[in-house]
Chains A and B, each alone.
Chain A
Amino acid sequence: MSSAISVSSLYKTYSTGFEALKNINLDIRHGEIFALLGPNGAGKTTLISTICGIVNPTSGTILADGHDIIKEYRAARSKIGLVPQELTTDAFETVWNTVSFSRGLFGKPAKPAHIEKILKELSLWDKKDSKLMTLSGGMKRRVMIAKALSHEPEILFLDEPTAGVDVELRRDMWNVVRALRESGVTIILTTHYIEEAQQMADRIGVISHGEIILVEEKAELMRSLGRKQLRLFLQEKRDEVPEALAQYELELSSDGCELIYHYDTQKERTGITALLKDLDKAGVRFKDIQTRESSLEEIFVNLVRERK
């Protein structure tokens, strides 16, 4: 089975000489949610724009559902829906017209029932006759999503869909994304909010300085890079870590009430048993224990920092 999106040896150098993408190779599977993470200016938007036909690639090939995006652009593009990062709308058009326009542009005959369904799902139905200029930013964002879904795409790109969006809209949006995934749509998203990638994505790609530095199953990524923390809440305040426990490289919280132990979940021995024994020997008593996995954000920050 071919991939939903297959990028091979893709380079993009802008006319200014800036190398935005360097040797990108990426396969996105049918029906998955793929989160593309990376700092600002890493090349996320350039990559999406190139796949969608807005930016010309310098070299390399891109297939969308097996169709070359340049030679078979009609077949390729009609499968793709794009929600760009910037809020750009035709101020004087109504919601209904602009969404219907998008459907026509993508070569589909009018289907009011489908437009109605999308508008209702995105809570835009009561705004259908409003001009876009009268809508709030969050509402405009919904319209952009409705436009992208108007032609029933099989692959959906969401470029920073939740940037500057309130909690309610984010929740609505993720409900729509989940429903789309269930109906078999492949979703590629970029986001600042790493907890969203953590919640939503099946796989995660990290891009930095125009290169894909990592593509991994989310769970796998969390597991392989994840470090855990064991926090011990002490019964008595301490000024320093007992010397007998030096080998564990414990950290004492600034208020002196907690001891923090870092360990790697991947290792055969985490050292917890020994630590607890030694704590007992040293006469350290504690009232509570807590363990915590590092978040994707911490993993991501570490990854990008390592590359520098």
Chain B
Amino acid sequence: MNLYAIKAIYLFEMHRTWRTIMQSVISPVVSTSLYFVVFGSAIGGRIPEISGVSYGAFIVPGLIMLSLLTQSISNASFGIYFPKFVGTIYELLSAPVSYLEIVVAYVGAAATKSIILGVIILATAALFVPLRIEHPFVMLLFLVLTAVTFSMFGFIIGIWADGFEKLQLVPLMIITPLTFLGGSFYSIEMLPPFWQKVTLFNPVVYLISGFRWSFFGLSDVHIGTSLAMTALFLIACILILRWIFTTGYRLKS
């Protein structure tokens, strides 16, 4: 293992985070706070409790997931896309580092940042609504697993993208709709039966449902199913990454 390389890349990426602290940490916190003000306090007061949980509290796990997904993806995709774009990737490709080390360093840094962000948003939420966390370890497990999985997914997008447009496209056109429709703001039981079935094809449903279960013990699907689906997505990302690096797809000609 080239631990020095992992450390160098990880610190480089974290340094980038601190440098762009406004954009990477403060703006998600601000926008999440706005959600709480609007949905939690203003509108939420008129919405009845869902299975004994106030609406303001009910949306907390979904909102954290929303930030976690979008931030993991955008951070990891940008982290690898930018060197490709400016050309500094030559150094990474000519260095004695294995693919595993590259992924561990980039994904590790992106996930670290998302997790920090998730915790900050959680703390912010606690200021607005009373929260209880029934299964803190499962909560943490979900936080880490989701951050890592979606950072990997973002890393894949960063390698695939050959322009800034594509870089924005997937988070904007796929992840945001899936998250909004994945039960961030509602329980899928509220949907008509047909759409309940359709929604089960949305992978984000399993993340939000599992994450919410760790808070309130409430879930749309079984917690085991949620964990299994997340693990499945993680494995899929690992397999894609392995393929990318063995073929040199979009990295080497």
Chain A positions within 8 Å of B, measured between CB atoms, are: 14-15, 52-56, 73-78, 80, 82, 84, 86, 88-93, 97, 100-109, 147
Residues of chain A within 8 A (CB-CB) of B16 are 92
Contact A54 B94 (CB under 8 A): yes
Chain A residue, CB-CB nearest to B2: A107
Bound state CA distance, A100 and B5, in angstroms?
11
For the complex of A and B, 6 pairs with smallest distance between CB atoms = A104-B8, A88-B87, A77-B96, A74-B96, A52-B94, A107-B2
- Tell me which of B93, B96, B98 contacts A54 (CB under 8 A): B93
Bound state CA distance, A55 and B92, in angstroms?
12
Contact B4 A108 (CB under 8 A): yes
Contact B88 A77 (CB under 8 A): no
- Tell me which of A74, A91, A100, A105 contacts B92 (CB under 8 A): A105
Residues of chain A within 8 A (CB-CB) of B46 are none
Residues of chain B within 8 A (CB-CB) of A88 are 86-88, 90
Report A85 CB to chain B, min CB distance, Å: 10
B9 within 8 A of A: yes
B14 within 8 A of A: no
Contact B94 A101 (CB under 8 A): no
Chain B positions within 8 Å of A, measured between CB atoms, are: 2, 4-5, 7-9, 12, 15-16, 19, 86-88, 90-98, 248, 252-253
Contact A106 B88 (CB under 8 A): no
Query: Given that A54-B90, A109-B4 are known contacts, is A97 also in contact with B15, CB under 8 Å in the complex?
Result: yes
Contact B96 A78 (CB under 8 A): yes
Contact B5 A56 (CB under 8 A): no
Report B126 CB to chain A, min CB distance, Å: 34
Contact B91 A147 (CB under 8 A): yes
Bound state CA distance, A76 and B253, in angstroms?
20
Residues of chain B within 8 A (CB-CB) of A103 are 4, 8
How many residue pairs at the A-B interface have CB separations less than 8 Å?
78
28 A–B contact pairs at CB < 8 A? A15-B253, A53-B93, A53-B94, A56-B253, A74-B98, A75-B96, A76-B96, A84-B87, A88-B86, A88-B87, A90-B86, A92-B16, A92-B19, A93-B12, A97-B15, A101-B8, A103-B4, A104-B4, A104-B7, A105-B5, A105-B9, A105-B91, A105-B92, A105-B95, A105-B97, A107-B4, A107-B95, A108-B4
Report A105 CB to chain B, min CB distance, Å: 4
Report A192 CB to chain B, min CB distance, Å: 20
Contact B87 A77 (CB under 8 A): no
Residues of chain A within 8 A (CB-CB) of B97 are 105, 107
Residues of chain A within 8 A (CB-CB) of B94 are 52-54, 77, 80, 82
Report B94 CB to chain A, min CB distance, Å: 4
Chain B residue, CB-CB nearest to A81: B94
Report A83 CB to chain B, min CB distance, Å: 10
Residues of chain B within 8 A (CB-CB) of A105 are 4-5, 8-9, 91-92, 95, 97
Bound state CA distance, A86 and B94, in angstroms?
15
Bound state CA distance, A74 and B8, in angstroms?
17
Bound state CA distance, A265 and B90, in angstroms?
45
Report B80 CB to chain A, min CB distance, Å: 13
Residues of chain B within 8 A (CB-CB) of A80 are 94
Bound state CA distance, A214 and B152, in angstroms?
48
Report B13 CB to chain A, min CB distance, Å: 11
Bound state CA distance, A97 and B16, in angstroms?
12
Contact A84 B8 (CB under 8 A): no
Bound state CA distance, A100 and B12, in angstroms?
10
Bound state CA distance, A92 and B83, in angstroms?
12
Report A251 CB to chain B, min CB distance, Å: 48
Bound state CA distance, A75 and B8, in angstroms?
19
Chain A residue, CB-CB nearest to B247: A56
Residues of chain A within 8 A (CB-CB) of B86 are 88-91
Bound state CA distance, A2 and B90, in angstroms?
27
Chain B residue, CB-CB nearest to A104: B8
Chain A residue, CB-CB nearest to B83: A90
Contact B12 A55 (CB under 8 A): no
- Tell me which of A76, A91, A106 contacts B5 (CB under 8 A): A106
Report A50 CB to chain B, min CB distance, Å: 10
Residues of chain B within 8 A (CB-CB) of A107 are 2, 4-5, 95-97
Chain B residue, CB-CB nearest to A52: B94
Bound state CA distance, A90 and B16, in angstroms?
11
Bound state CA distance, A36 and B95, in angstroms?
23
